[in-house]
Structure 1
Amino acid sequence: MNLEQVNLHLNAYKESNQILDAAKYLIRNFDLEHENFAGFAFRDELKNDGLLLTAEGEIGEKQIVKIPRNLFDFDIKLVLNMVAHEMLHVRQKDPNSLVEDKNEREFQAYYEMLFHKVFPQIPELSPFYIKQFGGKALEYYKRMGEGSELQQKYAEQKKEVEELISVQP
């Protein structure tokens, strides 16, 4: 299904004020579902036109992804990448595939937004967002601790991120 068709469906959901159903439509149609996902709920919108989604719940328990009501006012590629980011957190917090360190979880999720290894069906971001989310990935890499085991584990991915950012217009 192309993004134009997806937008038509999302607009129909928006007109009926069925935002949570629209989000469910996305995870079904882009194969993002996971057994550790408990559903969507609303969170407050950001005042500065920013977009924030969160996966909430205790580590090892089912996760609720909180979305703002204005989620579908943003570019569909950005929305899909942000939803995929949170759905990766849902998987990371599953007892069968637990990633305990927050910096590692965030690095993995931002890396996924850039390279789409887990969710290859998610569209590529614009150069602006590649730089922005690449910077976030590097920030979480830095927080892992200079020379730490985690940094060593992700050294190659860090290089990939740096290289990707460097070639963006």
Structure 2
Amino acid sequence: MNFEQIKLHLNAYKENDQIIDAAKYLLYSFDMEHENFAGFGFREPSPNLVLLTTEGELGDPQTVIIPSNLFDFDLNLVLNVIAHEMLHVRQKAPGKTIEDKNEREFQAYYEMLFHKNFPKIPDASDFHKKIFGEKAFEYYKRMGEGSDLQQKYATQKVEIEQLISVLP
């Protein structure tokens, strides 16, 4: 199915106030489903902020909390933010748990830029890529100067620096 058809489906869901069904449709359409995903829940919407969170204890099924106005935003941005949260769902799965929050966040922002886990996700705008890169750098810095974690992700940090350096 092409991107325009997906948008038509999403509009139909939105017109019928089926926001959670629309979000589930995106998981299916972009191969983001995971056995550790417990479902979606709602949060209060903000007119100019796309805020999603993943909730649940490490090792337990995870719920992704979305605003009811999620589909009022650019679809490429929405897909990237959902991919970020679905990576957290994977990171918190039993047997694959990544305990360090800075590592989880760095990986998730890296994913928003390079789509290694979710290759069907389209690129966000250059504006948003710069924001994702800055957030990745923030979490990289929080790992601790010269730490084992920073060394583990040094190559990915360089990839982000190279990508950001060529953006207009």
The bucket for the TM-score relative to the shorter chain is over 0.9
**Partner AA of 1:123 in structure 2:** P
TM-score, structure 2 normalization = 0.98
For residues 154 and 61 of structure 1, the distance between their equivalents in structure 2, rounded to whole angstroms, comes to: 26
2:30 aligned with 1:27, yes or no? no
Q: Deviations over 1:27-54 (max 9, x none)?
A: 011110000000001012235x011001
Q: Deviations over 1:76-119 (max 9, x none)?
A: 11111110100000000001211000000000000000001111
Q: Deviations over 1:138-160 (max 9, x none)?
A: 00000001111000000000000
Q: Which SS does the other structure have where 2:39 is aligned?
A: strand
Alignment map for 1:70-85 (pairs within 5 Å)? 70-85=69-84
Q: Paired residue for 2:50?
A: 51
**Partner AA of 1:16 in structure 2:** N
Q: Paired residue for 2:106?
A: 107
How far did 1:57 drift? 0.4
**Partner AA of 2:132 in structure 1:** F
2:166 aligned with 1:167, yes or no? yes
How far did 1:125 drift? 1.2
Q: Which SS does the other structure have where 1:35 is aligned?
A: coil
How far did 1:3 drift? 1.8
Q: Paired residue for 2:38?
A: 38
- Structure 1 stretches of 4+ with a deviation exceeding 4 A read none
Identity, % of aligned positions? 70
Give the alignment's Cα RMSD to 1 decimal: 0.8
Q: Paired residue for 1:149?
A: 148
Is the CA contact (8 Å cut-off) linking 1:3 and 1:76 kept in structure 2?
no
Structure 2: unaligned runs, 5 residues or longer: none
Q: Paired residue for 1:89?
A: 88
How far did 1:61 drift? 0.2
TM-score, structure 1 normalization = 0.97
Q: Paired residue for 2:131?
A: 132
